[in-house]
Every structure is written in C-alpha cells, then in structure tokens.
Amino acid sequence: MAGLSPSERRLQKELMSLMKEPPPGMEVDSDKAEQNLNLWTIHMKGAEGTLYDGEEFQLQFKFGPKYPFDSPEVTFIGNNIPVHPHVYSNGHICLSILTDDWSPALSVQSVCLSIVSMLSSCKEKKRPPDNTFYVKTCNKNPKKTKWWYHDDSV
C-alpha cells in the first residue's frame, strides 16, 4: 500500500473489511470503489420486520481528502429513496453523525448501521414536512445544510 495518503490507506482498510465481513443486508459495490476510492455505492436491504422490509436502497458515500477528519457526504441515490421523516426525496439524510456529531472513530460501517437503525425505528412512512421546499432550495451537498437536529427518536 505504498504511496497512499493516510486517508486512502484508511479507506482501503475499511473497504477490505466491508467486503470480507459485510454487515447484514449490506453490500459494497467493490468494483466501483476500487476504481475510485473516494466514491462508494452501498446496496442496502430494508431490515426484516420493519416498514422497509423487502425494499432495496443504494447509499452513496463521497470522501474528501480530509476523511476521517471530515465526515463523508452520504446520500441515498437511485430509484428508491426511502420514504422516511428524515430522508428528503432527493436522497439527503438528516442525521447528526453526518455533520455535527461526526467523529473520526466512526466508519462507513457504523454510518450504515446508524442509517439502518434510523429506518428500522420508523413508525410511519412519510417525507419530512418541508420536503418540497428543501429539495427546491438546498445545496447539492447535504453537508452545506445547517441542520437543526430536533428529534433523534424517530
């Protein structure tokens, strides 16, 4: 692994462990990630017994050169964006660990697990109340949104 920056070395390690021992219901597109270490796609299945059982989603992770000091940019992509009070129809996710509460001890795997648990605890499938306005006006990068995390219980 010579010639890699610390950030690349860490991503390489995370990729290996995700490929070897993927968390249940998740699969990283390893070909894509190996081509471009800074852009990963993760296929995710809705957990059994939840409102998302049987659905499949795709999560995109974009890493900057300062990962893991900077959080990755994480969005849902593809045709099926989960209908959830913290997920906008453009794929942006309102989850504090992706911005304010990020820590370099978090990893792709722990972010994925948080997102699965956020989906799993949902009791009613609906978009955030301000979805239409947000999607029209927001920056393409969800990290540029100054989120106010009002409620972590949903």
Q: Hey, which residues are catalytic here? A: 94
Nearer to other proteins, 22 or 25 (CB): 22
Sign of the C-alpha dihedral, residues 18, 125, 151, 140? positive
Nearer to other proteins, 13 or 32 (CB): 13
Nearer to other proteins, 33 or 94 (CB): 94
The single residue among 33, 67, 72, 73 that binds other proteins, judged by CB under 8 A, is 67
- Count Cβ neighbours within 10 Å for each residue of 30-64 and write b for 16 or more, e otherwise: eeebeeebeebbbebbbbeebbbeeeebbbbbebe
The single residue among 104, 117, 125, 132 that binds other proteins, judged by CB under 8 A, is 104
Q: How large is the C-alpha radius of gyration of the chain?
A: 15
Instruction: List, as one string, the DSSP characters of 21-42.
Output: SPPTTEEE-HHHHHH-TTEEEE
Nearer to other proteins, 3 or 129 (CB): 129
69 binds other proteins (CB under 8 A): yes
127 binds other proteins (CB under 8 A): no
Q: Which of residues 134-153 bind other proteins (CB under 8 A)?
A: 134, 137-139, 143-151, 153
Identify whether the C-beta of residue 73 lies closer than 8 Å to the C-beta of residue 143.
Answer: yes
Tell me which residues touch other proteins (CB under 8 A): 5-7, 9-10, 13-14, 65-70, 85-86, 94, 99-101, 103-105, 107, 128-130, 134, 137-139, 143-151, 153-154
